[in-house]
Chains A and B, each alone.
Chain A
Amino acid sequence: MALYPISTKSPCLAYHRWDGVLRPYNQWLVKPPRIYDESLSSLNHFFYDPGADKLVGYAVFSTNAWPGWAVWRYEWEAVSGAFLNRGQANIFAIAWANHAGTGSYGAIYTTWKSGYVISQVKSSNLSHAAGMWEIDPWSWNPQRIFNFAVVNRENKIIAGVGSWFLETWDISGTPFLKGQLRLPQPLGYLAYEDRKHCWVITQKGLIAKANYQIPRWEMLSSVQNPSSDAVNYLCAFDTKRKCLAVFRQRPDGPDGACQCQLEFYYPLYRVAGLTTPVPVSRMRAGDRVRFVSHLYGDTGEGVASYLMYGEILEPASGKLLTPISGAELNGGATFRYRAIAAGMDTLKVSATITDGEGA
């Protein structure tokens, strides 16, 4: 499996234009050629709110106005990533809540900077109210502190990330560690898909899908065109449309304009390249010579289910015995060729990729 990009909304945030009045805070913001009086510092929470059918983010801004910072709650349209609304949010949504995300029963859960528990919170302000679900990994053996967590209350499973490992804990009785997966890079964000699967995006744009119940990795891919200037990546899984939304944080443009973008991906086959056919057996006149070529995705993952076509370019002296070959699960396809006599031939391999075609 790979990831098929559906659409991109860029920029997905619009900054407030400077009114020309110089205030004492963060004066770099309004230094020409910059023309906006605010700038995104970080997006701390990013999730799909199934109740509202919206993407939600909580962001910290640097501002020119007092007190030099602001916390905003953003809402984006889940299909297109169009900006819907932003409203002032409580500082505690940033200072206390760590990383919020969707979990089972369509609820929102977060880890905390101010404590070690994982709590169900309100989507509107990330506050925990009495009677809401909560669990304390610090009371487990061994004790745990998670920065990110996926909560599956139905199957009584917690998948959490403290640093380099995605850990699965069974909380049906006395909590115990079921398994660990090492992350390929430092984590950008963790998103719940369903009772079995979650998505991981790293700070450099690798995207992995895990079956956290076993646990095991099921796919490794990446964002399309990972940019070297990206500051961070966050992801949220739209459980209604079964697609992955990625927030790519990029530095402001020369005039201070926001360059952050929302990208949407379907977990479908997508081809990034085709390797040159390489001989894997002895090349002798009269022998059947095997050549192997691979169809691969953004992170080298094999792309299966496509037919690959081979062709000996003119002037041809040998014969291609298998002009059509199917890509295996690892994306590899084998072509057999026989030369009549010693000489040189050129093997061309191609695949017809139907744009947007799924598995």
Chain B
Amino acid sequence: MFEQIYTSTKAVRFESGIQPGGLCYLASWDAFFLLNFNKVDKVFRDGTQISMGNPISGWAMGNRQGGRHCWFPYSISPIDCYGADEITGQYNPLGILNPNWKIPAWRAGDYVDDVAGVFLHSVSAGLIKIFRLADGYEVGQVLIPSGPLYDSIAYVSPGQAFAFDKESGKVALIDYLTPTLLWQSKVAPFAAAAFDCRHHLVVTLGTDGKIRIYLCTPVPASLSAPAFSPVGNPYRLAGKKVITTLTGDMGEPCQDYWIHWELLGTPPRGSLLKDKSKTDAQGQAENFYFGPVDTGGEETIKVRVIV
């Protein structure tokens, strides 16, 4: 579960009571573009909402590389996908992102990376397919175990995207160039979600109209027993790397947490290089253990995390 840091007091109003057709973080605005039924709105993080026109009827919104959005006409197939103007958020009639291959199957919230030249389509439960924009060739797919049919795919960084499911709140980070599933996590169920690629935050719009902001670091749920790497016993005074891994409730790594290290023996047998270290992107914190002069006996290493 991602760590939530903010809930807006203001509530975004859904036009005609209908849940929004999409939410996208626009890097140039440092705010969000909301497809709100028959209106388009600019929404700030605190829930301030300003109407800025009407969308073209019968079109849906998708996400685009770099913190932008794009538009699809959903009444026809195969489709052209259009870039959007950064001032008005409206589609750019001459800005077709897939001039060489019309997209035959797609969903609102699908993702276009016109820099890497790929289109990501959420096909079915847990399955995201990746197509080459140049010719429509399927270059790969990401299968997310027990994953839902994702509602939107949003840009995170070059080659990486988050897939969001509003009903379950499930979030999956994928590398679509490799292509692989990096990890999964969760937020509270929502009506629409976006990824703030400037501050690296997941931002959701709840069914209650409130904006919720989550850090991409999951709430720690499990800290593994410290283990030597590579496996084996230390030899006398020679140091040996020891690792512990901090993960969330779905096994996702928890980055940037301080791990406290301690030897429990009285007196301690051997020593630790550091008494604290920080978890990296894989959720791992490392230390070095130096054994005593005599190799016999046992020692216990205790690790703790301060949340």
Residues in chain A within 8 A of chain B (CB atoms): 164-165, 179-185, 202, 206, 208, 216-220, 273, 275-283, 290, 292, 294, 296, 298-300, 302, 328, 330-332
Q: Which residues of B contact A328 (CB under 8 A)?
A: 30
Checking B31, B48, B52 against A330 with a beta-carbon cut-off of 8 angstroms, the contacting residue is: B31
Q: Which residues of chain B (84-99) have a CB below 8 Å from chain A?
A: 85, 87-94
The DSSP consensus for interface residues of chain A is strand
Residue of B nearest to A282 (CB): B215
Query: Can you give 27 A-B contacts (C-beta < 8 A)?
Result: A182-B56, A183-B90, A184-B40, A185-B53, A185-B54, A217-B88, A218-B87, A220-B88, A275-B45, A276-B9, A278-B6, A278-B8, A278-B213, A280-B201, A281-B215, A282-B217, A282-B256, A290-B199, A292-B30, A294-B44, A294-B48, A296-B44, A299-B42, A299-B52, A302-B29, A302-B30, A330-B29
A184 touches B30 (CB 8 A): no
CA distance A80 to B236 in the complex (A): 92
> B6, B44, B94, B215 — which one has the most chain A CB atoms within 10 A of its CB?
B44
Chain B residues positioned under 8 Å from A282 (CB to CB): 3, 5, 215, 217, 256
B85 touches A216 (CB 8 A): yes
Given the interface contacts A296-B48, A299-B52, does A179 sit within 8 Å of B213 by beta carbon?
Answer: no
A278-B213, A279-B6, A294-B30 known; A299-B50 Cβ under 8 A:
yes
- The residue on A at minimum CB distance from B198 is A280
Residue among B89, B93, B256 with the most chain A CB within 10 A? B93
Complex interface bits, B1-37 against A, C-beta within 8 A gives 1, otherwise 0: 0010110111000000000000000001111000000
- When distances are taken between beta carbons in the complex, the residues of chain A under 8 Å from B215 are 281-282
Residue of A nearest to B211 (CB): A278
Contact call A280/B213, Cβ cutoff below 8 A: yes
**A279-B52 Cα distance, complex, nearest whole Å:** 26
Closest Cβ–Cβ distance, residue B95 to chain A (whole Å): 9
A165 to B90, CA, bound (A): 11
Q: Is B114 in contact with chain A by the CB < 8 A criterion?
A: no
B213 contacts which chain A residues (CB < 8 A)?
278-280
* Given A220-B87, A282-B215, A180:B94 Cβ within 8 A: yes
Contact A184 B29 (CB under 8 A): no
A179 touches B217 (CB 8 A): no
Contact A273 B48 (CB under 8 A): yes
Closest A residue to B41 by beta carbon equals: A300
Is B196 interfacial (CB 8 A cutoff)? yes
Complex Cα gap A296–B29 (Å): 11
B90 touches A184 (CB 8 A): yes
B46 at the interface (CB under 8 A from A): yes
A104 CB → nearest B CB, Å: 25
Across the interface, A275 reaches (CB within 8 A) one of B3, B44, B88, namely B44
For B52, list chain A residues within 8 Å (CB).
Answer: 184, 206, 220, 299-300
Across the interface, which residues of A come within 8 angstroms of B196, CB to CB?
A: 280
Q: List residues of chain A with CB within 8 A of the CB of B256.
A: 282
Q: Which residue of A lies closest to B50 (CB)?
A: A300
Residues of B within 8 A of A179 (CB): 94
Note all chain B residues with C-beta closer than 8 A to A290. Answer: 199
Interface core residue of B6, B91, B196 (most chain A CB under 10 Å): B6
